[in-house]
Structure 1
Amino acid sequence: MKISTKGRYGLTIMMELAAKYGEGPTSLKSIAEKNQLSEHYLEQLIAPLRNAGLVKSVRGAYGGYILAKEATEITAGDIIRVLEGPISPVDFTEEDDPAKRDLWLRIRDSIADVLDSTTLDSLVNYEDHETNSNFMFYI
């Protein structure tokens, strides 16, 4: 399974909205400019997210979009499934070899587990512990 730009940019939209949660609506134009993305493409992605109940639109001069729930209640899996469809590394049928079918099911379940255990809040507040090491350099 390869995540397309729909899933990646959709995740970007949602992370931007999560970062500004509680501050009022955010325009797609500001998200597009900040991330150097096409506003028109983001408009296509926001509709399914709104229809799925993940975001709400706010009309008016200072309108835009807000998260429909707190960032701790929305997972990467929620977003990816809305934009990409079901999570599956391959299409397989009941006739497939049982050993291969079991492998594909375990891979699917592992991917789903990672996506479903990763909240928007954890993505927005992510700290890379490997690059934030406590090395001391002397010159």
Structure 2
Amino acid sequence: MTSDDAFSLSIGAALGDSDRENRAWGDAAMALARRVEVARTGVPSPLNVNVVFRVDGRLVPLDFTGVRTRRFSARTSDLLVQAAVPIGPAADRDAVLLRLLDEAIEAAEAFARKKKIAENLAEIRGIVASLSGS
């Protein structure tokens, strides 16, 4: 991927099982990913953030809660942030994912400041803000 092909924000999901609950979370995450694809068009960022929603399951149980930064590529300025989807049913999956996405961007901003990449990720925050009304 060239820098011209890079996306300022991308969304993924890693399911820990193939049960109905995991599939429902996966569907909700992919619906959010499609909204992000539209909202990020033409939006540059000093750090490209890939947020992966991790869903607990019997096959791949979660070993963390909240959000955590993972891999970073200095060459492409790509950062992976994982967000643990809370265990149990949710009345509004989209609201849960948006809250986790906001927490993931906070973690990415802290990483960007620590590595002296940027003081903030205002461009990505703008993308996330636009999702609340869509």
The TM-score, its normalising length taken from structure 1, stands at 0.29
Q: Quick check: which one's strand share is greater?
A: 2
TM value normalised by structure 2? 0.30
Task: Choose between structure 1 and 2: higher helix proportion.
Answer: 1
